[in-house]
Structures are given as structure tokens and as C-alpha cells.
Amino acid sequence: MEKIVALCKRRGFIFQSSEIYGGLASTYDYGHYGVLLKQNVKNEWWKSLIQERDDIVALDAAILMHPRTWEASGHLEGFSDPLVQCLGKCKRRWRADHLREAQPEGELKCPECDGDLSEPKQFNLMFETHMGPVADEGAKIYLRPETAQGIFVNFKNVLGFARKKPPFGIAQAGKSFRNEITPGNFIFRTREFEQMELEFFVPPDEAEQWYRYWREERFGWYKQLGIREEKLRLRDHDADELSHYSSGTADVEYEFPMGFSELEGIANRGDFDLTRHQEFSGQKMDYVDTATGERYIPHVIEPSAGADRATLAFLVDAYDEEEVEGRERVVVRLHPRLAPVKAAVLPLVNKDGQPERAREIYEELRKVMPAEFDTGGSIGKRYRRQDEIGTPWGVTVDHQTMEDGTVTLRDRDTLEQVRMPAGEVGPELAARLAA
């Protein structure tokens, strides 16, 4: 993980937030390549749900929601973690359930200083704030701890205009906030993060079948974007891990440097959410089939993923070190569709008309894909930089280009270089990207 953190800082993917003030604990800012990478992760998610199928619609609800939402959802009462504090030297706070996983037997001890721990206290994870100028109880609102509730409260709105009937889904991606007791592991667990959530509404008797479907579908999404299969697993929750309303939950887990950890949860939530909002709002939340007159509250299958966690998993999985001709090379083997930059156009030397020709090729290429033009430093140094930001292809202009119009196309992973006419590079790379 230290290597990933260092690479992210060195190449401007992700760095500590408010660094000039000493940083804010477990809060991170995304730089240029980080923004592009996370954006690509989200785009692939959207594409798989919206462009590649026609039973899901998009939504972007506000972060601030009516406070009754959180009563209905159960977050106000139950969205808490068991907090214990070290009574020994270090006084640090921990999540009792996490400690229990690491210390399955006996009395829990502080992992930092081996001190005794306090009794667990339930700690609500929602960030509170106030709306308007008066900070009294009546003005209290919360930063959403998940995007899902924005979907449930809009169920009727969407049903009204989307011309869909169950089974159909509503997808939303956006910021969520949780006052986590023990954030950490870089961007794996932070207090401000982005979620990508789908609520898939189905007739009650189809819930199990759709739950099975989405488990496989979401697992496949990570594989298809290049994560090594042996680093992924789909873990079904035991009965004692399930929320009271859920009849099935499975986590897609990735083997991060700290061990297998959750990337995404897929839950069969029954009719819990819509029923609760119907109760608390007094508005009908059922679906009425106009053809048969049948009415029911749809059941919900929820695949809930984290955009930052997925970004971290893609980075960790892609990171590689190898020796090439006696020199060490760091290469980030991101799937081309996720790579922030698809191709770098590099003149071999900074003279003889090569930079000008390279710039022309770059201007053509960037009409069809994100590309970079780089003239700074030796060619080896420029390749290394592109390898570290995960650019899959390098297009090099050399003396031969000036004679016969061909360039070399370098592959990041195999290091193979092939010559081709400059005009063919764009179509060739576009075809490879679409493959």
C-alpha cells in the first residue's frame, strides 16, 4: 500500500487533503490523473447499466435530504458502529466488531498498546449539520450516509416519467459521508467518499432470481475490467451478518494489501425501504399494473459499490514492478478503458522537425481519445512516466517518420514496438479500445 500511496502522490493521482495545514486525517484530494481514472471507473459503471441495457434509468438526487428520510430508513436509530476506547496508554478508539475479527477469542485488547478497552458504545455515523441561520434542533439535517435513499424517495417520481415497470432499476452515483470511527488504508475507508448504487425493483416472486443475477453480474464487471480473478471473491454473508430485512447479501471482495475486503455489497432488501417510506411519508409507494390491476410494493435488489474503493482496487491490481534490460520499471497495467491517458505521442529527439510532426499526430489522435504530447527529457524517462500513469500505448516519431511517414507503436505491457503509417494509428487504437 505504501508503494501505491507513493506512486499516487508522485504522479499526481491522489494526495492528502489540506496538506499545507498538515492535512486532514483520512481525507484525500484527487489530482489530474486520479480524477480521470475515477471518472473512467464511474463511466464504465454507468455504461454497463445504462448504455448496455434498457431496464435502468439514471438519477442524481441532492446530498441534503429531508430529515424524516433517515428516520424511515432506520439510519437515525440504527446506523451506528460499536465504539470502544483504549483505557490504557494510547486512548485510541476502535470498532469492536473489527477487533473481534482479528481477536476471535477472549477479552478484547487495544491493538496499539495492549491496554484494556471500555465497554462498547453505539456511535452514530451520520454527519450532522444545520440548515438556515438558526442552529436549533428543528434545523438539524444530515449529510447523506448513502445515495440509496435518494432513489427510494424518488421511486414514484421516476415511475411517473420513465415508462418502466418492474423489473427495472434506478442508478445513482455521488458523494456520501460517514463519520467512520476507524478510517484508513488510504482511500479504502474515508469519511467522505463516492458511491455507485443501483436499486433494482422487482415483483416479489422474482426477487431471489434477480438477486442471484446481480451477484454474478457485478462480480463479472470487475473481472471484465481486468482485475485478476484469483484476487476477487464473492462472499455470502452468514445469517448473523444479515440485516433484519435482508434475505441475502453477498460482498464482492478484493484482496487488498491488508487482506480480502469489501468492494461492493449486493443485497436482497425485500420491500423494507419502500414500505418504510410509505409509512413515514403517508404516500403510496406501490406499483399498479394498469393491465391486470395488480398492485404490490416491489422488492429491491441493491448492488452498492464505492467509486474510490474500486479505483483503489484497480490501481493495486494494475501495479507491477519488473526488470527490463537491467533496469527496474514500475508499470501500472490498467485496462485501456480505465487508463487516464490512452496514448502518448513522443518525438524521439527534440529537433529535425520531429516535435512539430509529433504534435500534428497528437492533434489528430486527441480528437478520438485522451492523448498526451510529451517532449520533456530523454525518451526512456518519458516512457517511464507514461508506464507509471498506466498509458497503454506510446506513439514515437523518429527520423524514419520524417522519411516515410511511419511511426512506432509501443505496447505498455509487452514492450513490443511495431511500425505503421501515422494515419493508421488512430483507427488502430480506437479498435483496440473498443475490443
Interface residues with ligand ATP (CB under 6 A) are: 178, 180, 189-190, 193, 195, 262-265, 304-306, 308-309
Nearest approach, Cβ of residue 369 and ligand ATP (Å): 29
Nearest approach, Cβ of residue 191 and ligand ATP (Å): 7
Q: By the 8 A CB rule, do 161 and 59 touch? A: no
Nearest approach, Cβ of residue 413 and ligand ATP (Å): 28
Tally of helices (H runs) and strands (E runs) in the chain: 14, 23
Q: What whole-number distance in Å separates Cα of residue 334 and Cα of residue 316?
A: 10
Greatest Cα pair distance, the chain, in angstroms, is 78
Strands of 393-397's sheet, edge to edge?
371-373, 343-347, 393-397, 406-411, 417-421
CB count within 10 Å of CB 372 equals 20
Nearest approach, Cβ of residue 427 and ligand ATP (Å): 37
**Beta-bridge partners for 74:** none
Cis bond before residue 167 (omega within 30° of 0)? yes
Nearest approach, Cβ of residue 291 and ligand ATP (Å): 36
Identify which of residues 101 and 321 has a Cβ nearer to ligand ATP in the complex. 101
Name the nearest CA neighbour of 142 among 179, 181, 180. 179
Nearest approach, Cβ of residue 267 and ligand ATP (Å): 8
Identify which of residues 304 and 391 has a Cβ nearer to ligand ATP in the complex. 304
Q: Is the dihedral of CA 147, 166, 253, 86 positive or negative?
A: positive
Which residue has the closest beta carbon to ligand ATP? 306
Identify which of residues 5 and 433 has a Cβ nearer to ligand ATP in the complex. 5
Nearest approach, Cβ of residue 241 and ligand ATP (Å): 10
Identify which of residues 101 and 403 has a Cβ nearer to ligand ATP in the complex. 101
CA distances from 329 to 12, 326, 380 (A): 18, 10, 11
Identify which of residues 176 and 408 has a Cβ nearer to ligand ATP in the complex. 176
Characterize 207-231 residue by residue with b for buried, 16 or more Cβ atoms within 10 angstroms of its Cβ, and e for exposed: beebbebbbebbbebbeebebeeeb
Nearest approach, Cβ of residue 263 and ligand ATP (Å): 6
Q: Is the dihedral of CA 313, 319, 320, 321 positive or negative?
A: negative
Identify which of residues 95 and 366 has a Cβ nearer to ligand ATP in the complex. 95
Identify which of residues 189 and 276 has a Cβ nearer to ligand ATP in the complex. 189
Q: By the 8 A CB rule, do 251 and 237 touch? A: yes
